[in-house]
Amino acid sequence: MPDLWMPGATRLDVGDHAPTDGGPAKAVAHITWDRNATASSPADLVSYETLQNYFGRNASGMAAAPHILWDPFTGRATQFVPANSRSKSLADTAGGTRTNRAGAVVLQVEALFFPYCRVDGKVYARLADTPCKGWPELLAWIRSWGVPDRWPMGRPVDFTSRRDEAVWETQAGWYAHAHVPENDHQDPGSWPGFATEEAPDLDATQANQLAAIYKAQVPYSGWQYKGTGTTDAWALLNSATSSATAAVKSVAALSTKIDALKAPSLTAEQLAAIATQVAASPTLADRIAELVADKLAARLTD
Q: Which tens digits make up the pLDDT trace of 25-70?
A: 999 999 999 999 999 999 999 999 999 999 999 999 999 999 999 9
| Across 190-215, average pLDDT | 61
Q: Which fold has domain 10-229?
A: Lysozyme-like (3.40.80)
Per-residue DSSP letter, 47:
P
Is residue 299 over pLDDT 90? no
Domain ranges of the chain: 10-229, 237-300
Q: Which of 26, 1, 2 is nearest to 141 (CA)?
A: 2
Tell me the C-alpha distance between 180 and 152, whole Å. Answer: 11
| Across 215-234, average pLDDT | 41
- SS3 call for 119: strand
Tell me the C-alpha distance between 52 and 282, whole Å. Answer: 101
How is the beta sheet containing 68-70 ordered, strand by strand? 10-11, 77-79, 68-70, 106-111, 26-31, 173-176
Q: What is the pTM of this model?
A: 0.67
- pLDDT over 90 for what percent of the chain? 63
